[in-house]
Homo-oligomer: A and B are copies of this chain.
Amino acid sequence: MRPLITLITDFGLREYFVGAMKGAMFSIHLGVEIVDISHQVNSHDILEAAFTLRCAYSAFPARTIHVVVVDPGVGSKRRAIIVATSNYYFVGPDNGVFSLIYEAEAVERVVSITAEHYFRKPLSNTFHGRDIFGPVAAWISKGIEIGKFGEDISDYVKLTPPKVKKMAEGAVQGMVLHIDKFGNLITNIAPCDLAGVKSAVKFAVAGREVPGLVRNYSEGAPGQPFALVGSAGFYEISALKDSAAKLLQAHRGDEVMVRWS
């Protein structure tokens, strides 16, 4: 069967970067299938890349190789790593981009990539997507055992994603993690954060109240933002055929409060 490799980068789609990276991979393994997840992560935004990966990775079949190249430290001494879980491989810089994977999956091994004979020659100082991460993923897809790429490590970089705080009096505090193309506000609050709450809950974004909690978009009233559980498994603030971000003048990072009585 043909193996799958997915890509998440901040390269954009206008430049030659994504094409050259795919060319380098096909030069190693022509039989691979390469799937773009996003190349429009904000430049250097490690947490946005981590969030995108977290939302998408588990929809893919087992043994898929997920490559993430959001890599402001390219050419420095930051390590390149392979993360193996029971279901997937992940390849990218050791800058915390896999932090949400470490929380969600049982990590079996993390390998620091040092075996230079798997790199593209000549190795550039600025484009490790084409020269290291892409080629290593292509070699894994050909069946090279990941121990061949370097030594196992345990001190890989883990960023602490923003946590939901339980407040004393019937409330939790979270934040707006992401605003999507439709203007939906994706929060870091999940249904499990409200486990045991039996009464009705109320949301507020940066102090502005959100009228109701609904089951799907079409239950909302026109011009009125509402909360619902989104496809990524978190509460989202949305609006019926409208942008909740505009209606609430909300921004990424805004405080989200959920209260009940």
Contact = CB atoms under 8 A, between A and B. Distances in A.
B216 A43 contact: no
Stoichiometry, as copies per complex, reads: 3
Contact of A64 (B23, B59, B127): B23
15 contacts: A15-B52, A15-B181, A16-B38, A20-B56, A20-B231, A24-B59, A26-B61, A27-B59, A43-B181, A72-B240, A73-B218, A74-B216, A78-B218, A124-B230, A126-B230
A252 B39 CA distance: 23
Contact of A19 (B26, B38, B127): B38
Given A38-B13, A44-B241, A231-B124, A217 B56 contact: no
Interface of A: 1-2, 4, 6, 8, 10-24, 26-27, 30-31, 33, 35-41, 43-44, 52-53, 55-61, 64, 72-76, 78, 124-127, 130-131, 180-182, 215-219, 228-232, 236, 240-241
Of the candidates A57, A181, A241, the one having the most CB atoms from chain B within 10 angstroms of its own CB is A181
A214 to B, nearest CB: 9
A178 B52 CA distance: 29
Nearest to A58: B23
Nearest to A1: B30
Contact of A215 (B6, B38, B72, B75): B75
A164 B44 CA distance: 32
A36 to B, nearest CB: 7
Given A16-B55, A35-B23, A218 B181 contact: no
Contacts of A41: 14
A204 B160 CA distance: 41
A72 B182 CA distance: 11
B43 A19 contact: no
Contact of A2 (B13, B30, B58, B230): B30
